[in-house]
Structure 1
Amino acid sequence: MAFEQPNTMSTGYSQVVPVNKVIRNTFMLLALTLSFSAVTAVGSMMLGLERMNIFVFLIGAYGLLFLTHKTQNSIWGLVSAFAFTGFMGLTIGPVVSSYLSIPGGGQTVFTALAGTAAIFFALTGYALVSKKDFSFLSGFLFAGFIILMGAMIVGMFTEIAGLSLMISAGFALFACAAILFEVSQIVHGGQQNYIVATVSLYLSVYNLFMSLLHLTGALGDD
């Protein structure tokens, strides 16, 4: 199955064709990158890798994300997208391992995974079928990102009770809004590059899963 780069059409029925191509290519690539990320996550678990240093994580994640955006219009964009999602999978493995090592941890991981899948398919299906324009969420997403980053920095240097749970809940809501926004952008022709769209949706799925994992674990006293 080959990926097709979308073309820009002007008016009429011809506009449906490139949009459908972007939708098809985006979800095809998303399925592949999620699968690859799962493989690297399992690999890191089998190797017994420890949690990554926060600064190494930030440099690796944002560096590969920047590279993906810079190469989005070439074949190297696909390569960097897989490198980015594979790297993120490596960071998931040690976290999942820590949950699996405690009583009830398997149920916690399964609940978070099932919840992530259910929410993602529900929001994606709604955005695709309803064709509503969720571009109004752009301001919320920008403000939410700034607030969440600030809260994370505060959390690194303070011990405020319940702050980590609030941050996880905030990231979960942020991820849901980002899914609606990105799918809406694709449907309405605002996003015509399936590589960028895939990475954006992948990040939303990643944030949603990690947030639900933390919240579910906390509610289950894990």
Structure 2
Amino acid sequence: MENRSVYNVAGSGVDSVVSTNKVLKNTYMLLGMTLLFSAFTAGVSMAMGLPAGAGLILTLVGFGLLFVVHKMADTAKGLPAIFAFTGVMGASIGPMLSHYLAMPNGPALVMQALGGTAVVFFGLSAYALTTRKDFSFMGGFLMVGLIVAVVAMIANIFLAIPALSLTISAAVIMIMSGLILFDTSRIIHGGETNYIRATVGLYLNIYNLFIHMLHLLTALGGDD
């Protein structure tokens, strides 16, 4: 009986590792495809010359689709839902990218933001994967920070204080970096077993990281 118990525990541990590795593989594969699709729809949006108002409307549509994705994540409709969501979110930043690319140093700034986002994401993901540390303790702090940042962003729409805008972007970059560690850790330790939901979390981290890094680089470069 003792030996059988040991075998059962060992078998269950192996199954858990295999399951976690499968979620990780599927998550990163789907994340890569959705990021490429977002880049494509952003390019289409820019080619069409969509105005900033259209970008705002698409962002609101994207938030609506986010709820649809979470609702359908456990069904066969989850995959088309996540591509609809990421496609709309990609298109929504087309007007913003057109604005930045029209600046004298715009193309270089966009490439720097893309490179910086990639370095942060791959660096933090690699750290979480190799150390296999549990970053679940960061959840509460990151959620509070996110709420404060959102409130500050809404307030700054009316206040329009440049220094506050820079502070918000710097804070969001730190929060998204923490969320990359947190979300990756959840996948590794079995806290998230649905690769569609896991992909959405990491996608939003990268999306917000890129936008705020671009804003920060532009402001620091004196082009904003």
Distance 1:90 1:117 in 2: 20
Deviation at 1:170, TM superposition (A): 1.2
Alignment correspondent of 2:5: none
Alignment correspondent of 1:40: 41
Alignment correspondent of 2:83: 82
Equivalent positions of 1:17-28 (< 5 A) are 17-28=18-29
Alignment correspondent of 1:67: 68
- Cα deviations by residue, 1:165-195 (Å, 9 ceiling, x for unpaired): 1111111111101100000000000100000
**8 Å CA contact retained: 1:178, 1:204:** yes
Give 1 or 2 for the bigger CA radius of gyration.
Answer: 2
Q: Does 1:131 align with 2:107?
A: no
- Cα deviations by residue, 1:23-62 (Å, 9 ceiling, x for unpaired): 0000000000000000000111111111236863453122
Q: Which runs of 5+ in 1 are unaligned?
A: 1-8
Distance 1:39 1:58 in 2: 16
The TM-score, its normalising length taken from structure 1, stands at 0.92
**8 Å CA contact retained: 2:59, 2:89:** no
**8 Å CA contact retained: 1:52, 1:91:** no
Alignment correspondent of 1:5: none
Equivalent positions of 1:48-197 (< 5 A) are 48-52=49-53, 56-57=57-58, 59-197=60-198
Alignment correspondent of 1:210: 211
- The one-letter amino acid paired with 2:50 is L
SS in 2 for 1:102: coil
Bigger helix share: 2
The TM-score, its normalising length taken from structure 2, stands at 0.91
Distance 2:15 2:100 in 1: 50
Q: Percent of aligned pairs with the same residue?
A: 50
Call closer, same or farther: CA 1:150–1:57 in 2, change over 3 Å. farther
SS in 2 for 1:52: helix
Q: Which runs of 5+ in 2 are unaligned?
A: 1-9
- Cα deviations by residue, 1:93-124 (Å, 9 ceiling, x for unpaired): 11111111111111100100000001100000
Deviation at 1:11, TM superposition (A): 2.5
| RMSD value, Cα | 1.6
